[in-house]
Copies of this chain bind each other. A is one copy, B any other.
Amino acid sequence: MKTSQSLLQLVCRAPYKRTFLRNFKLITFNIQRRNYASLENETVKTAEIHKNESSKAVNYTTDIYTHLKRNPNFKELSPDDIKFFQSILSPSELIVDNGNNQDDLIPYNTDWMKKYRGKSKLVAKPKTVAQISKLVEYCNVKKLAIVPQGGNTGLVGGSVPVFDEIVISTNNLNRIRSFDPISGTLVCDSGCILEALDNYLAEQGYMIPLDLGAKGSCHIGGNVATNAGGIRLLRYGSLHGTVLGLEVVLPDGTILDNLSTLRKDNTGYDIKHLFIGSEGTLGIITGVSILTPKRPKSVNVAVFCLNSFQNVQEAFIISKGELSEILSAFEFWDINALKLVKNHLVQGANFPLDDKYPFYVLVETSGSNKDHNEEKGVVKDGVVAQDNTQIQNLWAIREGIPEAGSKSGSVYKYDLSIPVPVFYNIVEETSNRFKDAGIFGKDKLVTDVFGFGHIGDGNLHLNIVAKSYSPEVAKLTEPYVYEWTEKHKGSISAEHGLGLMKAGCIGYSKSQKMINMMKQIKQSIDPIVSIGSKTIQTPAIEKRVADAYIGTVKFIDKRLPVITGAITPVL
């Protein structure tokens, strides 16, 4: 291995040299090329682990959120409806509640955080787009509520039913349709698992421009529907930049054929962007065309610990300046997150980091040329040696943080975009609120508050671990966290989406004018409204939470019933 230059030295270049030399301590070097394929196989797969655990003990969403009322305009499932579903789907593509098969339905009714649980009696798992089109058309005519579901790895309660909505799962819609090795354009069904796509692309020398902890379970369609961000956004940009086309089943069953593979096409409005991040409220994404980048030939990783959040910011600025086009990840976590991982996931002697520094950053570089990357990203000989196991562990720390939190208790997750200078303040201030209320401590209601996230994107994940989901905790964080974010011109949902959790909170991040325009667009795609009928009826897809909000969420004055339809991601 070539080790000609120190990453520490690189990061410590003028004018920050003195500051950084005082405050940095290099914990470990991991300069061997990261083997994407093998790493992925060993990655902690949060969602899968949780899938295998029983979810029978989870409370029904309607029992916890008692203000949610079912919209009586939606009819209940009848024997005739079931017959129709049976005429479209084979027995293996359909689960119908028969009184004895609750266990089969639970995985589709419950989210992996065990925070939300619906009461659906029918799960459809079609294999073709034509089937989905027929089912959606039928539901729309019959006024049967639907919730689309992908890998069900969402964090905001958007992918599971609230009441008795029919679940349309993309589990069986998992075909790779085409790949062009010259342009790097991949076209696939929306139910393809992210990691499966990446493994397929690896064989062609390409990679999927998106990477996140749930990659072993989440579907590409759900990623698009929620505009998932993840750890590669810094380098490859958002899905608005990489998705080239989408195929979507609209609420009236129309199949929108916008599955372009062209990198440039300026003919009319670029409709696909409406569906990216719309969380399934405007239609069900069934096909995705995406531009994939060349797989880096060389990947280097290092982790630093730092003495202040100011240092974290400085490290990012310098890394961005010096590493520029080869910087592929700049992740951060705090000591509380580290301790949780150490205690719950990676116990023993092979844990590579000391837990005595307040902040940690993981820097990854990747590029086309092994030698050049090593020159850019390599550290000196003689500092902590490394092997593959240790590299895996380093990544496992970052990717295991959400799971470590969940193992420790019931987790409140806030996914915020915040200007970097005040980025970490919300973690400290939230902790103080619990301390002041006397409910923070080892044997108290709240046991942990920690922060981690993507510095490069201004995306903080604020997590609060409690003994159980409780109004006492929620009262101290909501709307406090949302108001704080609004005050600092941030976003209350950076990458998780609104879901059921934040459906009523859009007003903290979007103006009334913007919300009005969203309503106009929603109405224009609404199959009843759009054909010009005077009677504005409730469409089948995605109004379920709008309907749910017939009740009142007292602390959120800004909730907007219609737009709260933005809550049923395919993720």
Question: Which residues does A use to contact B, with CB under 8 Å?
Answer: 182-183, 205, 226-227, 229, 233, 237-238, 240-242, 254-258, 260-271, 273-274, 276-278, 282, 294, 296, 313, 317, 320-326, 367-369, 372, 375-376, 417, 420-421, 456-459, 489-498, 502, 506, 508-511, 513-515, 517-518, 520-525, 530, 563, 566
Contact = CB atoms under 8 A, between A and B. Distances in A.
Contact of A520 (B277, B514, B525): B525
B262 A506 contact: no
Nearest to A519: B524
Contacts of A515: 268
A458 B263 contact: yes
Contact of A266 (B237, B376, B497, B513): B497
29 contacts: A182-B313, A182-B420, A229-B264, A233-B264, A258-B511, A263-B456, A263-B457, A263-B458, A264-B458, A265-B493, A265-B494, A266-B494, A266-B496, A266-B498, A267-B498, A267-B508, A267-B566, A268-B566, A269-B274, A270-B276, A271-B518, A273-B273, A274-B274, A294-B324, A324-B367, A324-B368, A325-B325, A372-B375, A520-B530
A180 to B, nearest CB: 8
Given A237-B241, A264-B495, A269-B282, 14 more contacts: A182-B317, A183-B420, A256-B514, A262-B491, A263-B459, A265-B493, A267-B492, A267-B502, A269-B278, A270-B276, A294-B320, A323-B368, A517-B525, A520-B530
A233 B271 CA distance: 20
A269 B320 CA distance: 30
Nearest to A258: B514
A417 B525 CA distance: 29
Contact of A325 (B255, B326, B496): B326
Nearest to A317: B182
Contacts of A520: 524-525, 530
A326 B369 CA distance: 11
A135 to B, nearest CB: 19
